[in-house]
Chains A and B, each alone.
Chain A
Amino acid sequence: MAFSPTELKNEDLLYSYLDEYLDGELTPDVLAKIEPLLQTPEYSGLPGRFQALRGKLQLAMQSYYLKEDELTALNALVMPPSEKQKAEQTSIDALSRGNTNSFYRRGAVLLLIVLAIGASIWKFGRTKDQKFRPLEYLGYEALAMEEDAQERLNLPSHDPVEVRQYLESYPGLEFKAQMLAGVPAGWQIDGATVIDYEVAKVAAVMYERGGAKTKELFFFFSFAGELSDLPASEPGNMRGLIFQTYASNELNLVAWQVAPGVVALLVGRRSAPELAEIALASRAAKE
């Protein structure tokens, strides 16, 4: 026999349909039972309190996630890493063989194009419209640092004071380089560097947690600019922190105006709300 919501006791009906009530998805018969209940002093404000609680629960649950090695183990259930590498190599070899015939023909065309571009540059000089694209550049930089951080960090250090002094005394920076004032428990600073892209300089601070096998990283970049310079994205507001989020296949990026004329970009494998929480922890520590 089909279930009729009106079989439920009033209180069960009210609490179990709160999400549908908030989303405006209630059928008229359920709405007709719920609305008078919400007018009573006992349940006044209940939808708002439920919404806040659900948000907190979702946020709290986000601190539970699988570690990289656990994900690798799940992945290996369908294909062990060695097999996967072999399969990928086979695909690459097949692709290479298929491309061999057209290689020389394409090469000749490419050479002509390169020569034409080279001649234009030689004739008209170097264009000055090179633009700093933070999301693209720093997304790549974060992946490269994950691969080999020590090679790319000018200052490997766990000492926040040392890192701050390094950033403050770095010559030629046209903005006040920032670092997080505080990070959630378990995280520690792992080093810093300044990246010179010619069109812009970027201060980068790396944070880590976990042991050698479970090491997790995130990166805090700061550079001169305005949040509005970045491509438009859905704005977020977490307890007063206005931020914009972006995502690549592997990383999430959260950007906000950390100081007048300075944009901060937090990049890591955590979800955007988790990264925003880290930014909030820093702001709280500063205050």
Chain B
Amino acid sequence: MATSANQPIDESLVNIYEEHFLRHADTVYRFAFALTLSLDGASQCVRETYKVIATNLAKYVDTAEGGANSILIETCWRVFNDQKSKAFASGQSAVTKALQPLAISARAALVAIDVAGLDAVSAARVLQMSDKDLRVHLAHARRTLLSSGAQL
């Protein structure tokens, strides 16, 4: 059953949220930043992601332990795609400069695997790509960063 955000909910669900989901908040923020290349955009994306999680907590009772990271990345990716039309001002950080030349799918594959620590099969599933497409995007991202001599 979905619960409405901001309403007190069952204590065991609160514990799941706090213990399994909140601990990955910075990872989700980094993933969201790689997608939006904007601090504001990343904050908004993370907020929306956790709203979705909070209102559907009961669904994750059996999968949160060990699977929260994947669930969050998947939700964040969906949230981002739903809000794709929103434009965010990007900054000038070294990370932004390094990631900007990459397509969004390539950034998503790169950060999901090399930063958020998902394996390729999980990453393909949560990013809703075929295994082959995931590999092609990942290879493109790594090749581009290595050949550009990105100053991180």
Whether the pair B132, A7 counts as a contact (CB closer than 8 A) is: yes
Chain A contacts for B111, CB-based, 8 A: 61
B152 CB to nearest chain A CB (Å): 4
Q: Is the interface of B mostly helix, strand, loop or mixed?
A: helix
Query: A284 contacts the other chain (Cβ, under 8 Å)?
Result: no
Q: Are B145 and A53 in contact (CB under 8 A)?
A: yes
Q: How far is the CA of A61 from the CA of B26 in the complex (A)?
A: 10
Q: A66-B26, A66-B29 are in contact. Are A3 and B143 (CB under 8 A)?
A: no
Q: Is the CB of B73 closer than 8 A to any CB of chain A?
A: no
Q: Are A74 and B47 in contact (CB under 8 A)?
A: yes
Which residues of chain B (95-152) have a CB below 8 Å from chain A?
Answer: 95, 98, 111, 113-115, 120, 130-132, 134-136, 138-140, 142-143, 145-146, 150, 152
| CA of A26 to CA of B8, assembled, Å | 47
Residue from the set A16, A49, A80 with the largest chain B CB neighbour count within 10 Å = A16
Cβ 8 A contact of A65, one of B18, B29, B114, B145:
B29
Question: Which of these, A54, A60, A74, A79, contacts B94 with CB under 8 Å?
Answer: A60
Taking CB atoms, residues of chain A closer than 8 Å to B62 are none
Please state if B8 and A12 are interface contacts (CB–CB under 8 Å): no
Q: How many residues of A contact B (CB 8 A)?
A: 42
> When the two chains form their complex, are residues A49 and B146 in contact, meaning their CB atoms are under 8 A apart?
yes
Question: A residues within 8 A CB of B54?
Answer: 77-78
Q: Who on chain A is nearest to B29 by CB? A: A66
User: Do the beta carbons of A57 and B50 come within 8 Å of each other?
Assistant: no
For residue A18, CB closer than 8 A to chain B, the reply is: yes
Within A77-133, the residues touching B (CB, 8 Å) are: 77-80, 83, 87
Please pick, from B57, B98, B135, the residue contacting A16 in the complex, using a CB distance under 8 A. B135
A58, B115: Cβ atoms under 8 Å? yes
Chain B neighbourhood of A58, CB < 8 A: 114-115
- Smallest CB–CB gap between B69 and chain A, Å? 15
Q: Is the CB of A74 within 8 A of B9?
A: no
Q: Are B22 and A71 in contact (CB under 8 A)?
A: yes
Interface size, B (range): 35 or more
Could you tell me the dominant secondary structure of chain A's interface residues? helix
Distance, CA A124 to CA B46, complexed state (A): 61
Please measure, in the bound complex, the distance between the C-alpha atom of A179 and the C-alpha atom of B130, giving whole angstroms.
Answer: 53
Q: Give A60 to B30 CA distance when docked, in angstroms.
A: 10
Residues on A with beta carbons closer than 8 Å to the beta carbon of B59:
none
A15 touches B132 (CB 8 A): no
Tell me if B17 is interfacial: C-beta within 8 Å of chain A: yes
Does chain A have a CB within 8 A of B14? Answer: yes
The reply to whether B146 and A64 form a contact with Cβ atoms under 8 Å apart is no
CB of A230 within 8 A of chain B? no
B6 interfacial contact with A, CB 8 Å: yes
B5 interface residue, CB < 8 Å from A?
yes
Residue numbers in B under 8 Å from A53 (CB-CB):
142, 145-146, 150, 152
- Contact between B135 and A12 (Cβ–Cβ < 8 Å)? yes
- Does B11 belong to the interface (CB within 8 Å)? yes
Chain A interfacial positions (CB closer than 8 Å to B): 3, 5, 7-8, 11-20, 46, 49-50, 53-54, 56-66, 70-71, 73-80, 83, 87
Task: List B residues at the A interface (Cβ < 8 Å).
Answer: 5-6, 8-9, 11, 13-14, 17-18, 22, 25-26, 29-30, 33-34, 39, 42-43, 46-47, 50-51, 54, 57, 94-95, 98, 111, 113-115, 120, 130-132, 134-136, 138-140, 142-143, 145-146, 150, 152
User: Which 3 pairs from chain A and chain B are nearest by CB?
Assistant: A15-B139, A3-B131, A16-B135
